[in-house]
């Protein structure tokens, strides 16, 4: 999403509405605190946690994240609006992200993008009428040697040709990830205990 400005005279959050973050989500965010020197530093993991749980990060969720991290809500919005990965409004069940950087462009990413648009009848930043797919383009997806690349949720599709698109979209398992998710994300507190302290690393280097 793009940078946003807000009208500060009009409330964007209903103060009387019940909280949108469950205690489990708040606890998951708090579990990242031991990894960082400040709570603010846990903002990106917090956004991931909330988007994983709720599908997107609404203005109400931003305000509650700010409370947990003890930072201004504007700081949450600043960070969220910088990354296309985060959504402040509902998105499709699956998000297709096509790379628009050089290697993929050279290898035909434009044709793949057009085919996705034609197949799904959706434009960039749009969501299909049935709510199944949203479409985005982003800069390099870090798999340039497999260009053109396309993500469906967290599943990377490599060397995608325009002719492959219909088959990929029809595949109900097109977003299934076979690799386990990061241990650091799933067990942040435990991982923090296992990580060496900066001072230990220095001593190891000095030895």
Residue 148, C-beta contacts closer than 8 angstroms, at least 6 positions apart: 98, 99, 104, 105, 107, 108, 109, 112, 159, 160
- Considering only the stretches 6-14, 21-29, 110-118, 142-150, report the one whose residues sit in contact with ligand FES under the rule CB under 6 A: 142-150
Binding of residue 42 to ligand FES (CB under 6 A): no
d(CA 162, CA 15): 48
Residue from the set 57, 65, 122, 141 that interacts with ligand FES by CB under 6 A? 141
Binding of residue 99 to ligand FES (CB under 6 A): yes
Residue from the set 49, 69, 143, 160 that interacts with ligand FES by CB under 6 A? 143
Binding of residue 98 to ligand FES (CB under 6 A): no
Give the number of residues in contact with ligand FES, rule: CB under 6 A.
Answer: 12
Mask for 160-179, x = binds ligand FES (CB under 6 A): --------------------
d(CA 195, CA 191): 6
Contact 133, 94 (CB under 8 A): yes
- Minimum CB separation of residue 144 from ligand FES in Å reads 3
Residue from the set 31, 51, 58, 101 that interacts with ligand FES by CB under 6 A? 101
Strands (E), the chain: 94-99, 133-138, 150-152, 155-157
Q: 21 or 95: whose CB is closer to ligand FES? A: 95
Which DSSP state fits 96? E
Residue with tokens 């509902």: 90
């Amino acid at each position: 999403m793009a940078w946003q400005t807000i009208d500060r005279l009009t409330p964007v959050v209903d103060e009387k509405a019940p909280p949108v973050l469950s205690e489990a989500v708040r606890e998951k965010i708090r579990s990242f605190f031991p990894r960082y020197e400040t709570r603010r530093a846990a903002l990106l993991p917090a956004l991931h946690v909330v988007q994983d749980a709720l599908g997107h990060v609404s203005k109400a969720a931003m305000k509650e994240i700010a409370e947990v991290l003890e930072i201004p809500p504007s700081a949450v919005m600043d960070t969220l609006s910088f990354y296309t990965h985060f959504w402040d409004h509902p998105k499709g069940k699956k998000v297709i992200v096509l790379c628009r950087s050089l290697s993929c462009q050279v290898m035909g990413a434009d044709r793949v993008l057009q085919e996705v648009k034609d197949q799904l009848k959706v434009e960039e930043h749009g969501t299909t009428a049935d709510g199944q797919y949203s479409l985005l383009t982003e800069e390099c997806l870090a798999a340039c040697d497999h260009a053109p690349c396309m993500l469906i949720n967290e599943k990377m599709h490599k060397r995608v040709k325009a002719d492959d698109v219909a088959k990929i979209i029809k595949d109900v398992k097109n977003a299934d990830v076979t690799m386990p998710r990061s241990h650091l994300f799933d067990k942040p507190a435990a991982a923090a205990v296992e990580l060496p302290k900066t001072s230990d690393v220095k001593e190891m280097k000095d030895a």
